[in-house]
Amino acid sequence: MAKQWDEAMIPDQSGKTIVITGSSSGLGLHTAMALAGKGAEVIVAVRNVLKGEAAAEQIRRRHANAKVKVMKLDLGDLSGIRSFAAAYRERYAGLSVLINNAGVMMPPYQRTKDGFELQFGTNHAGHYALTGHLLPLLLRTPRSRVVTVGSLAARSGRIDFDNLDGAKGYQGFTFYRQSKLANVLFAMELQRRLAQAGADTISIACHPGIAATNITSRGSGNTSNGLLLFLMKRLFQSAEMGALPSLYAAASPLLHGGEYIGPDGKGAKRGYPALDPAINGIDDPKVAARLWDVTERSTGVRYDFQ
């Protein structure tokens, strides 16, 4: 893998359609900005349409000819996810890249409309359902891919199958780590199932290292505490740098599926995109398969790889 890979090395994306969840700010916005600047048609899939439109306008100011569409998507609502997928299918015949980027971090204990603990439901189950609903379009699009954004927190995560909804006790960061581990396990299991089906579509996981973003708003959608943001910007890498692993995963022709991309610096906290060997200690195919089955039953979304 080339050292110091950056936005300038993104291949031309003309003719591609790319859905990015949670792309009104932070990593998602920078990812959308870069891919739109390379010619892709970018769908800003967000819960707050007004913020999405503001993000789209920001992208158009940077890239006058950008093709950007804002669509409402609430990952905490399975019926809303179905509606998004149906609306997408009405407008588009294919899907080149799905970037599962949106996430909430350490909110007070809440459940989604469908009864999931908010972080598990939004970060993992919602993306599982969305990917399943859009899978037919991905499968019919040559060399398509699914990119799922994890976190360094996945390394210390554990899937507590006996308390996924938090009813037996809840601790914000513990459940955040669980949800981000679920993201990575989902991406790896999806790749195994795509490969087994002989599909052209591939699945890749990535993480931003430690980047200064608004995820610390704890799911409120509000701007993070000013002092916290100041400290983050001093200590962490920028959202632009944090977006590079997502961009590499979405656009590099060198990837074949099943990779885990993160920053190349010490502890994978900062730097340029590289393969993160931590995946060897994170991915457990048995746990991933069990998680898949549990998520399939609880969401009612069954994947058809044909």
pLDDT tens track for 158-202: 999 999 999 999 999 999 999 999 999 999 999 999 999 999 999
Is the pLDDT reported for residue 67 higher than 60?
yes
- What's this model's pTM, rounded to 2 decimal places? 0.93
What's the pLDDT at 41?
98
pLDDT of residue 211: 80
Q: What is the pLDDT of residue 306?
A: 87
Q: Where are the domains of the chain?
A: 10-295
The answer to whether residue 233 scores a pLDDT higher than 70 is no
pLDDT tens digits for range 85-130: 999 999 999 999 999 999 999 999 999 999 999 999 999 999 999 9
Residue 224 has pLDDT above 70, yes or no: no
Task: Report which of 248, 234, 236 is spatially closest to residue 149, judged by C-alpha positions.
Answer: 248
pLDDT, tens digit (0-9, with 9 covering 90-100), for 235-250 = 688 889 999 999 999 9
pLDDT surpassing 90 at residue 230: no
pLDDT of 305: 96
* The token pair that represents 246 in the structure block: 């997502």
- Residues annotated as part of the active site: 176
Q: How far apart are the first and last CA of the chain?
A: 32
Count CB-CB contacts under 10 A for residue 181. Answer: 26
Return the pLDDT at 236: 80
Residue 235 has what pLDDT? 67
Q: What is the average pLDDT score of the chain?
A: 93
- For the ranges 19-28, 59-68, 135-144, 236-245, which has the lowest average pLDDT? 236-245
Find out if CATH 3.40.50.720 is the number for domain 10-295: yes
Q: Give the E-state strand segments of the chain in sequence order.
A: 17-21, 41-46, 67-72, 97-100, 145-149, 202-206, 260-263, 273-275
Is there a contact between 71 and 23 (Cβ–Cβ < 8 Å)? Answer: no
- CA 273, CA 206: separation in Å to the nearest integer? 9
